[in-house]
Structure 1
Amino acid sequence: MSSTAPAVRGQQLSGHNRISTQALTSLAKAAAAQFLGVEPDDVRADWTDDDGLLALSLVAPISMPPLSAVVQDPSSVDKTGGSMWDRTVRAKAGILAAVAELSGSGLSRVDIRITGAKISEGGRVQ
């Protein structure tokens, strides 16, 4: 089977590739939503320059099990990934890695401000 398309694997082509701020923001919101267990629309993302790298600032709620479930079974906090603090610390590293990998952009840091808790009814918090 033959193809008329030029082979570009391993070749560098002239031109520019640009990823818009809107695309980076959508990616950051999706990554944050996955790690925090909320919807992407619940996340606000802002970018700043940090000595040539991108610094990502996120504002979002975090999903948590209902208090009644925690009272009945205190170990349910461990089953959901730990405390809000522990989950947020892990989310920062995961979000940084995911956004850098998928966008090819250099990120210096991810700052997260948790604005509230989204109570997850039933099921396991992601």
Structure 2
Amino acid sequence: MSGTAGAVHAAAMAGHTRISTQALTSVARAAAAESLGVTLQEVRAEWSDDDGLLALSLVAPITVPSLTAVLRDAARVAAFGGSIWDRAVAAKANILDRVTELSGAQLSRVDIRISGASVSEGGRVQ
């Protein structure tokens, strides 16, 4: 770059830009709530250092179909996105991608502990 455009670009690049832990936590909780079909208030998130990258640990329930609905129609499990295990594995990848996309932070991994089940008659929330 040359002239004024180069000076403006250099000024915009000067200094530091930081995203607070609270902001990262809010993004992570929102991504997890969306992926697991639960409310934001039901999701707990903690960060730890993993050799210079961020590791995210989440604790949350997951939305599941009622057993009565599954007994009437076994396809209800598929409507929710599969088994709890399959959905948790898919949610890990989705959460990692969403947090990285929205925050620019590099995560080494996402760990999820399913703390309970929230029963719903509807299909999977996405």
For residues 16 and 90 of structure 2, what CA distance do their matches in structure 1 show? 34
CA contact (8 A) 2:76 2:123 kept: no
Cα deviation code 1:55-84 (max 9, x no counterpart):
000000000111110010011101110000
Whether 2:96 is the aligned partner of 1:100: answer no
Q: In the alignment, what sits opposite 2:14? A: 14
Q: What do the CA deviations read for 1:102-121 (whole angstroms, capped 9, x no partner)?
A: 10001000000001000113
**2:28/2:95 contact within 8 Å kept:** yes
Give the match for residue 3 of structure 1.
Answer: none
Alignment of 1:6-85 (within 5 A): 11-12=9-10, 13-85=13-85
Establish whether residue 124 from structure 1 lines up as the match of residue 123 from structure 2: yes
1:25 shift after superposition: 0.3
Query: TM-score, normalized by length of structure 1?
Result: 0.89
Name the amino acid aligned to 2:123.
R
Unmatched runs of 5 consecutive residues or more in structure 1: 1-5
Secondary structure of the residue aligned to 1:11 is helix
Q: What displacement does 1:11 show?
A: 2.9
What is the DSSP-based 3-state SS (H/G/I as helix, E as strand, rest coil) of the residue aligned with 2:54? Answer: strand
1:7 Cα shift? 6.9
Residues 7 and 62 of structure 1: CA distance in aligned 2, closer, same or farther (over 3 Å): farther
TM-score (ref. length: structure 2):
0.89
Aligned length: 119
**Unmatched 5+ stretches in structure 2:** none
Structure 1 runs (4+) deviating above 2 angstroms are: none
Corresponding residue for residue 115 of structure 1:
115
CA distance in 2 between partners of 1:83 and 1:16 (Å): 44
Percent identity reads 62
More helix by share: 2
For 2:5 and 2:35, locate their aligned partners in 1 and report how far apart those are by CA, in whole Å: 38
